[in-house]
Amino acid sequence: MADKTPTYATTILFISIYLSIYLSIYVDISIPGYKLSIYLSFYLSIYLSIYLSIYLSIYLSPFVVYLSSSLAYLSIYLSIYLSIYLRLLSIYLRLLLIYLSIYLSIYLAHNLSVFSLIVVHTYISISFHFISLHFNLFLSIYLSIYLSIYLSIYLSITFYSYLSIYLSIYLSIYALIKYITFMLRPFVKCQILNPLMHRRLQTLFKSQAKRKKTNYKFTIYR
């Protein structure tokens, strides 16, 4: 019976460590609250370790009691460390998915603006340009808002969803303004070049009239 006692005590202690770690992982996954899950896992692991230590102190030898106390503290430390590590890992994954949603919304808005610039500028008039731009702008805003809301519901983080919505709307409006300025640039150049062409034509016709020695009076109507 004396030879079997340490083996029995070691088995019970390993079971206590396994149960405390399993309990901390289960509480950390099942309860969404950060502080609540950590405190609850601490309490349950400490309670389980103390209960098994008292049980071993009653039924087993002092050496096994000392060993059980050491392993109980080790199980408490491992459960606390594991619960904190799992929580930080879940927060890191949430932040990574939020940044991915922001990047996807910006990429979608940029691609829609480039698509409208290439296709619509080639085949459709200027009025339909603005319609397509508004449509692409609203579509990109809607898709980015939908993506952000979906991720915020899935991850229970609202601040990052608002940030991604703000960035996507800002980028879409910026792309629209850049595209409008690009489209209006040829018209501004035409307005600048028209007076210069008018003056050159006037000087050309005057020089031709002097060569022919005629009283030719040329008038150009704008």
User: Do the domain assignments include residue 217?
Assistant: no
Query: What pLDDT was estimated at residue 2?
Result: 44
pLDDT in tens, the chain (222 residues): 444 555 555 666 666 666 666 766 666 666 555 555 566 666 666 676 666 666 665 665 555 556 656 666 766 676 667 667 777 777 777 778 777 766 776 676 666 666 666 665 565 555 555 666 666 667 767 766 776 667 666 665 555 556 556 666 666 666 667 666 666 666 555 555 555 555 665 676 666 666 655 444 444 444
Alpha-carbon distances of 117 from 120, 125, 128, 132, 203, rounded to whole Å: 6, 12, 12, 10, 40
Query: What pLDDT was estimated at residue 100?
Result: 77
User: Do the domain assignments include residue 140?
Assistant: yes
The closest alpha carbon to 172, from 110, 127, 121, 219, belongs to 110
| pTM metric for this prediction | 0.29
User: Do the domain assignments include residue 222?
Assistant: no
Domains contained in the chain, number: 1
Give residue 28's domain range. 4-209
Query: What pLDDT was estimated at residue 3?
Result: 47
User: Do the domain assignments include residue 185?
Assistant: yes
Query: What pLDDT was estimated at residue 68?
Result: 58
Contacts of 172 (CB under 8 A, 6+ apart): 109, 113, 137, 140, 141
User: Do the domain assignments include residue 159?
Assistant: yes
User: Do the domain assignments include residue 219?
Assistant: no
DSSP 15-80: HHHHHHHHHHHHHHHH---HHHHHHHHHHHHHHHHHHHHHHHHHHS-HHHHHHHHHHHHHHHHHHH
User: Do the domain assignments include residue 133?
Assistant: yes
User: Do the domain assignments include residue 215?
Assistant: no
